[in-house]
């Protein structure tokens, strides 16, 4: 007996074919083209929505309008996780990770490095993020990964002098908010934020220098001030991961930073490639770019 396809069956075949064809035509345009992709995500962000990214063993809520960290988490699946885990391996091999190490995240943004560090085995974290929207996502992401009881969030910027500062908000790159100057020509929003010294804040949190496993400092050109605020912690050569950007620093700031690091550290490695260990004096030969380095 021959079973002829019913009208419902034929319609189902047609609808599936039509959807596949529509996806094949539109996906390269809407997703493959950056301008169209960003337009769609900006429209989602304008409505106050977030995107939940499940990336392997970690999860993140991101602002869909963020073209940097958010976009990488949505489309690429991670943000500098290899650099964080590589730094931890280098320090462990050098015998520089204490038992139950504390991770310090200065300029934590939405918490990618905090989450990666806690997932990699750091016992607890202290994370500093002054921008309110980022700090909210930071707290959400810590909770989404089950780390609330191991993470402390301080909604403040870090510097060499306690007080307040003007934070200029980048309209598209949510990790590029900058103290003291606008990071974009079209950015108008600014917010006054409290500033704390790292040595004071860490001591108040009950963290002693010997407990620190790594301090991750990515503060968009404010690295000299952040490191200057470590005070006596530098006497213990606590390991630092720094976004070293000499073109962002004044000549005086750069000179003082190099002198400070040279006085307290012996070596550094580039985090992107985890290349050969270099003497700390060679850091001065880097004259441009944004360079992620591990100083220890």
pLDDT at 167: 97
Asked whether 172 and 184 are in contact (CB, 8 A), the reply is: yes
pLDDT at 2: 60
pLDDT at 153: 98
What does the DSSP assignment read for 180-207?
A: SS-SSTT---EEEEEEE-HHHHHHHTT-
Splitting the chain (296 residues) into consecutive groups of 10 residues, what average pLDDT does each group show? 76 87 78 78 88 97 95 94 96 96 98 98 98 98 98 98 96 92 88 98 98 98 97 97 95 96 96 89 92 96
Question: How does DSSP classify residue 76?
Answer: I
How big is the chain by its Cα radius of gyration, in Å? 23
pLDDT at 27: 74
pLDDT at 1: 61
pLDDT at 188: 85
Q: Is 70 helix (H, G, I), strand (E, B) or coil?
A: helix
Longest CA span, the chain: 91
> Which residue segments constitute the domains of the chain, with CATH numbers given?
80-295 (3.40.50.150)
- Residue 184 structure tokens: 């974009």
Taking phi first (over 0 means left), then psi (-120 to 50 degrees means alpha), and beta for anything else, what does residue 99 get?
beta
Asked whether 221 and 249 are in contact (CB, 8 A), the reply is: yes
**Is the pTM here over 0.85, yes or no?**
yes
> Cα 49 from chain centroid?
21
d(CA 183, CA 173) in angstroms, rounded, equals 9
């Amino acid at each position: 007996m021959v079973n002829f396809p019913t009208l419902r069956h034929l319609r189902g075949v047609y609808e599936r074919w039509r959807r596949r064809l529509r996806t094949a035509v539109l996906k390269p345009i809407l997703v493959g083209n950056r301008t169209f992709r960003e337009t769609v995500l900006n429209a989602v962000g304008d409505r106050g929505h977030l995107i939940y990214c499940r990336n392997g063993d970690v999860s993140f809520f991101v602002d869909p309008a963020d073209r940097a960290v958010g976009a990488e988490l949505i489309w690429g699946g991670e943000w500098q996780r290899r650099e964080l885990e590589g730094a931890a391996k280098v320090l462990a091999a050098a015998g520089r990770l204490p038992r139950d190490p504390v991770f310090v995240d200065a300029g934590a943004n939405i918490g990618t490095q905090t989450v990666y560090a806690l997932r990699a085995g750091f016992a607890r974290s202290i994370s500093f993020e002054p921008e309110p929207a980022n700090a909210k996502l930071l707290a959400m992401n810590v909770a989404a990964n089950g780390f609330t009881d191991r993470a402390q969030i301080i909604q403040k910027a870090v510097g060499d002098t306690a007080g307040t500062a003007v934070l200029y908000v980048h309209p598209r790159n949510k990790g590029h908010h900058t103290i003291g100057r606008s990071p974009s020509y079209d950015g108008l929003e600014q917010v006054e934020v409290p500033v704390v010294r790292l040595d004071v804040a860490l001591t108040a949190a009950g963290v002693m220098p010997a407990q620190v496993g790594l301090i991750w400092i990515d503060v968009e050109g404010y690295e000299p001030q952040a490191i200057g605020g470590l005070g006596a912690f530098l006497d213990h050569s606590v390991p630092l991961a720094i976004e070293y950007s000499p073109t962002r620093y004044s000549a005086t700031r750069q000179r003082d930073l190099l002198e400070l690091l040279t006085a307290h550290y012996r070596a550094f490695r580039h985090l992107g490639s985890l290349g050969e260990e270099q003497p700390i004096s060679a850091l001065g030969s880097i004259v441009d770019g944004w360079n992620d380095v591990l100083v220890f």
